[in-house]
Structure 1
Amino acid sequence: MRVQLYDTTLRDGSQGEGVNFSLQDKLLITKRLDELGFDFVEGGFPASNEKDAEYFQQVADLNLKHAVVCAFGMTRRRGIEARDDAGLQGLVASKAKVCTIVGKTSDLHVTEVLRVSLEENLAMISDSIAYLVSEGRRVFYDAEHFFDGFAANPDYALQTILAAQNAGAEIVVCCDTNGGSLPERIAETLDRVRKSVRVPLGIHCHNDCDVAVANSVRAVDHGAIQVQGTINGIGERCGNADLISVAGNLALKKGHTVLHGTGVGHLTELSRYVYELANMNFRNGQPYVGRSAFTHKGGMHVHAVNRIAHSYEHIDPALVGNERRILVSELSGKSNIVAKTTKYKLEHDDKLMKQILDRVVELESEGYQFEAAEASFDLLVRKCAGLHKSRFQRIHYRVNVQMDQAPESGDVPGTSSVTTEAIVKVRVGDRIEHVAGEGDGPVNALDNSLRKALVPTYPELGSMKLVDYKVRVINSAEGTAARVRVVIECVDDEEAVWSTVGVSENVIEASWIALVDAYEHKLSRNDNGV
């Protein structure tokens, strides 16, 4: 069966805490959703703000191949004609081919929130849809609070969607607005409703009970032909149904047709694209598309996966554009090490594999972790295999932080002048480089000094940039004497990204260790085909 995917990332998703899309972001996401074959893209609420109104003017100029852009609005206000309602006029002015109208299903919301009679609410639904249809628009009706309203007063809830159907709504979308329904309620309610309506049904679930995806899939099992949701499940409160997982489940588990062409194979790319535009961190454990979704750490798991991939994987990660990752840690066995070292083209050597594993276990007992620092692990392997040649050796470094009180500032915070200087002495080949550099802090100053010492000999380091820096206390019981773990992430002009780790009781020394690994990895990356 073909199941329509209706994306509301740009409207419902943007209501999530900390989520804000610029006009350009919204246009870019629309184009990407169209490329992957989404059926409908809800662009926003044109009557609510100038950005959404402008979006509909500009999106009309995009050459979309698959997606139909929808404008969102509410039923007319009480006591006025539909043609005089500013919100409905905004929908018509948007020129969107599809208008999605939300109306009240629950008698509680009608009488206590809208403060209108039950009959007036039915008229508001009917008048609004009929007006838009008369203006040549296709109309989808979102029945807000449908499952809660049906549970409290099924006769009235049914009257509301029949009013929408009889006024010309193309699809009635049953909304679990509070996100409190469980799959059995979804199934039972839809089975009862389908006996009374002739138009197709859709489903719109929120995730307040962490079952929005399950509810959406269950709804399709019970007759829904359209699923509304957002990319990565972003949205108000606990979010919406995640269309990434919905698409994966419907296509790969249930055999339904969703998206167009190879869209399912690009779900990982789409997920990360939206995270980047929203300036949000990836969810490593996100099903199907997270970095950890097909990541294996336990030695027993890796041993099995190396023999039969599906022994610990529910699908081939390539089906959604993801990849398998093998981690190394104190839980690893030799299978992890073998899997991680295949790129070095090393002959299988049990003694070497054990040496690498023993070194990993030893370092992790000191606080190291290589799961998020694969560049440091690469260097460890190269050192154990005798493949690494250090390009420079530290003689010593010194970091000075000087704070001067601004004149007449007293003790006002933030008025002091802080200067950080790092002096680095290293051996590069036959030469001694003794340089000083300033920075915004100790790590920045060390980085600047080390770069100044090395770039004359290794100009390729000039393209390297530090883009992230994380510090974590390992043994907090030791207080200010605790060990810290520093992870540094770097990029270069070749679009390579790598992370390194350092551990010490001194945060500056831990940072130095991670920095040195970052430089050494950049310099040795192409050695021996690695």
Structure 2
Amino acid sequence: MTDDKRIYLFDSTLRDGAQTNGVDFTVSDKTAIAQGLDRLGVDYVEGGWPGANPTDNAFFAEPPELKHARFVAFGMTRRSGRSPDNDPGLAALVNAKSDAACLVGKTWDFHVDLALGVSNEENLEMIRDSIAHLQANKSEAMFDAEHFFDGFKSNRDYAMACLRAAQEGGASWLVLCDTNGGTLPHEVEEIVGEVCRQLPDSRIAIHAHNDTENAVANSLAAVRSGARQIQGTLNGLGERCGNANLVSLIASLALKTDYVTGVSDEQLKQLKSVSRLLDERLNRMSQKSAAYVGDNAFAHKGGLHVSAVEKDPRSYEHVNPDLVGNVRRIVVSDQAGRANILSRLNEFGIEIDPKDEKVNRLVEEIKEREFYGYAYDTAEASFELLARRLLGDIPEYFTLQRFRVMDDRRWNARGELVTESEATVNLSINGEATMTVAEGNGPVDALDKALRKSLLPVYPVLETMRLMDYKVRILTPQDGTEAVTRVMIESGGRSGRWITVGVSANIIDASFNALSDAITWKLFRTSQTPPQ
């Protein structure tokens, strides 16, 4: 490895990513994410802006222990009319328990005049002496050249003068920011190349925003032209349209180029888990279509594709999913062939002769059901149950005799208009009839509670099961109130998460089918035995 091929990774999830609408990190969130990035092999973890808010103050007061990454505090150049020693913002950076500091300053003359209201020359002085002050008090000080690409296109001489001022102050990295995210890859490649030619002794970094969906491409273009540090965020988190997705960049650099990062082959296998760590901390669904780490990144649906992948995955996969900690998924759908079905059965540990007629019957059953509206490409728990039932592999845990759901909309004693739902469920459990009644927040919740009320005394393992998500889709809107409805239910518990599906012209009936599958799958996966 030569220094010319070494690319340094700078993560800004905890600072720039926190600018995302709806994102609020706690101190424990920041600690967990920082440590995950450290395990991954990222070189710099930017923790936030000391002095900006109580969360960042608490985080920097007790920073996480990092074994590899350098911990970075973010701030801005001194205010006009203050010396570096007498600026509260710089004081917060100096006092922060961080290895390094990254200081943002204006490089677009339009912003110098509009936002700062100072002369161009004074802005240069603010950059120069602020960086020098941080360099004297930290092991490393970087200059974040805000709006650099817009500034360069407007007044290249002044934009370059700002970089030189930071260089004179001792900046370890000059970070070129596409703050508005409007620069295209060919422009980035040209401008970064020019900067590297004019400042051959400086280390150049790129900080790209994704407002034209080009942040990853712009970052790679900058590397081609000489940038040796990439700044980004996990899963492309960030204000407006987000930042460069560091997950995609790490994988692309490792698997598509001869550049080298601090992420080893073994650490690269943690890429998906670190990406999921962020989503779990934000309590949001992971993006299924995310490059490299999404559930659909290596999912194959068409029978022709699956047949080829079974022979050689390279036929429809650009990299091995194992390299980034992902797995191949063979999706079952109305486009499925025998290869799909056999592959999925193998994943579930179901051994069957490929020539068994039951395979053909299962293929036809799936196609018929999906024509009616079922979707097994995501509802894998329902697919497994369907397959095992056809093979006679699922016990009869309970049998529905009947259910009734009622909604009562009325004025209560306090004069409030309320709607209450009540469900009555009659089940047979090993020949013994049960009837339970439960109220809930809506008909589906009432139905779920009534089912559990009947089943919990017999199957206490259901106590740990929770309904995580509930989605309804109208499949035949042209039929109005008689339309066919598909219900997808995501359940969770100690068995992980699983999705089931129900379809009917009656939304309550569709919901019951999905609920019933969810409970049955839980009981089967936890090796429950029906009472004798």
Same-fold status (TM-score > 0.5): yes
1:401 aligns with 2:407: yes
Residue 45 (structure 1) shift: 1.0
1:3-22 → structure 2 map (5 Å cutoff): 3-22=7-26
1:180-329 → structure 2 map (5 Å cutoff): 180-197=182-199, 198-261=201-264, 262-329=266-333
Residue 136 (structure 1) shift: 4.0
Q: What is the rounded CA distance, in whole Å, between the counterparts of 1:524 and 1:269 in structure 2? A: 27
Q: What is the rounded CA distance, in whole Å, between the counterparts of 1:50 and 1:421 in structure 2? A: 46
Residue 257 (structure 1) shift: 2.2
Q: Which runs of 5+ in 1 are unaligned?
A: 410-414
- Is the Cα–Cα contact under 8 Å of residues 94 and 138 in structure 2 kept in the other structure? no
Secondary structure of the corresponding residue to residue 181 of structure 1: coil
Q: What is the rounded CA distance, in whole Å, between the counterparts of 2:414 and 2:395 in structure 1? A: 54
Residue 527 (structure 1) shift: 7.0
Q: What is the rounded CA distance, in whole Å, between the counterparts of 2:57 and 2:466 in structure 1? A: 40
Distance 1:430 1:280, change over 3 A: closer
- Is the Cα–Cα contact under 8 Å of residues 9 and 43 in structure 2 kept in the other structure? yes
| Equivalent position of 1:444 in the other structure | 445
Q: How many residues are matched?
A: 520
Choose from 68, 81, 89 the match for 1:87.
89
1:278-427 → structure 2 map (5 Å cutoff): 278-342=282-346, 343-349=349-355, 351-407=357-413, 409=415, 415-427=416-428
Q: What is the rounded CA distance, in whole Å, between the counterparts of 2:193 and 2:469 in structure 1? A: 52
Distance 1:446 1:90, change over 3 A: same
Residue 479 (structure 1) shift: 2.1
- Is the Cα–Cα contact under 8 Å of residues 217 and 249 in structure 1 kept in the other structure? no
Q: What is the rounded CA distance, in whole Å, between the counterparts of 2:511 and 2:248 in structure 1? A: 38
| Equivalent position of 2:488 in the other structure | 487
Farther off after superposition, 254-263 or 48-57:
254-263
Secondary structure of the corresponding residue to residue 365 of structure 2: helix
Secondary structure of the corresponding residue to residue 270 of structure 2: helix
Q: Which runs of 5+ in 2 are unaligned?
A: none
- Is the Cα–Cα contact under 8 Å of residues 177 and 206 in structure 1 kept in the other structure? yes
- Is the Cα–Cα contact under 8 Å of residues 47 and 87 in structure 1 kept in the other structure? yes
Residue 41 (structure 1) shift: 0.7
Residue 247 (structure 1) shift: 0.3
Residue 511 (structure 1) shift: 0.8
Farther off after superposition, 379-388 or 22-31:
379-388
- Is the Cα–Cα contact under 8 Å of residues 332 and 357 in structure 1 kept in the other structure? yes
Residue 492 (structure 1) shift: 3.0
Residue 428 (structure 1) shift: 1.6
| Equivalent position of 2:476 in the other structure | 475
Q: What is the rounded CA distance, in whole Å, between the counterparts of 2:460 and 2:161 in structure 1? A: 74
Distance 1:21 1:527, change over 3 A: closer
Q: What is the rounded CA distance, in whole Å, between the counterparts of 2:492 and 2:135 in structure 1? A: 53
Identity rate of aligned residues, in percent?
A: 44
1:53 aligns with 2:54: no
Q: What is the rounded CA distance, in whole Å, between the counterparts of 2:342 and 2:67 in structure 1? A: 46
| Equivalent position of 1:502 in the other structure | 502
- Is the Cα–Cα contact under 8 Å of residues 284 and 290 in structure 1 kept in the other structure? yes
| Equivalent position of 1:412 in the other structure | none
TM-score, scaled relative to structure 2:
0.94
Residue 438 (structure 1) shift: 2.4
Distance 1:77 1:496, change over 3 A: closer
Per-residue CA deviation, residues 40-70 of structure 1 (Å, 9 max, x unaligned), is 11111113122212211110xx332111111
1:457 aligns with 2:458: yes
- Is the Cα–Cα contact under 8 Å of residues 473 and 483 in structure 1 kept in the other structure? yes
Per-residue CA deviation, residues 452-497 of structure 1 (Å, 9 max, x unaligned), is 222333333333322222111111122222111111122233x332
Q: What is the rounded CA distance, in whole Å, between the counterparts of 1:158 and 1:227 in structure 2? A: 20
- Is the Cα–Cα contact under 8 Å of residues 133 and 139 in structure 1 kept in the other structure? yes
Q: What is the rounded CA distance, in whole Å, between the counterparts of 1:12 and 1:334 in structure 2? A: 48
| Equivalent position of 2:28 in the other structure | 24
Residue 199 (structure 1) shift: 1.4
| Equivalent position of 1:110 in the other structure | 112
Per-residue CA deviation, residues 148-184 of structure 1 (Å, 9 max, x unaligned), is 1112211111111011001110110111111111111
